[in-house]
Structure 1
Amino acid sequence: MSDNAPPQEPSAEQTIRDELEKIVGLINASRHLMAEGRSVDLNAVEDRVRIITESVTAAPTQVASLFKDHLEALLDTLNSLQDDLEHHHQALEDNLRILKRRTASNAYGTSSPTPVSSTDSDED
C-alpha cells in the first residue's frame, strides 16, 4: 500500500528559519552589488521581512521567542544595509554634482571646477 497523504507543511519554526536564511542571502547579495556600484532592487528584501514578521506573529509564543536574538541580529543587519544605501546615495549625489559642474564648465569654456566640498550648497 502506498501512502497518498499530502506532504506536510513546514512547521512555524522551520518556516521562520528558512525565511531568515533567505533574507540573509538577499541582504549580503544586495550589499555586494552596492559595493560594486550597481543598483539594487530591495523589493525581495521587503517581501522577506514581511513574511518573517507575519510568521513570527502567527507562531506560538514559545516558537517566536526562540528567534528573538535572530530578529535582533536581522535588525542590525538591516540597519547596516540602510547605512550602505545612504552612503551609496550620497556618493551618487556627489558624482552628479561634479558632473553638473563639469558640464557647465565645458559649456562655457571655463577652467575645470574646483572640487566639491561637503560645505557646498545647491541653494546658491
Structure 2
Amino acid sequence: MTNAHGIASTFDRGGLMLAGALHSSIQNARARQAAADEIQADRNVSAAQRAVMAVERQRRELIASQQEAARLRAENASLRTETARLRDELARMRSRALEAEGCLVRLAKAAQARRAA
C-alpha cells in the first residue's frame, strides 16, 4: 500500500473515523445540553409556579382583609346608629326625670303652702 491511492485511503478512513467520533461527541453534547435545558425548564416552571402560588395566596389574603374591613365598617356604622339611638333615649329619660323632679318640687311647694295657710 505504498501507492498514492492506498495512502489516501488510509487517511480517508482515519479522517472518517475522526469525523464519526466528532459527530458522536457533538450529538452527546447536544443531548446533554437538551437534558440540562429540560431540567432548567422544570426548575423555571417550578419557580414560576411558586411565584404564581405566592401571588394567589397574597390575593386571597387581600380579599380576606378587604372583606374584614367591610365587615368592620358595617359593624362600626351599626354601633354608631345604636349609640345615636341610645343618646336620644337618654335625652328623653333626662327630660322625663327633670319633668318628674319639677312636678315633685311643685307638689312640695303646694304642700308647704297648704301647711302655711
Q: TM-score range by the shorter chain?
A: 0.3 to 0.5
* RCO higher in structure (CA 8 A, sep ≥6): 1
Q: TM-score, normalised by structure 1?
A: 0.36
Larger radius of gyration: 2
Q: Is the helix fraction higher in 1 or 2? A: 2
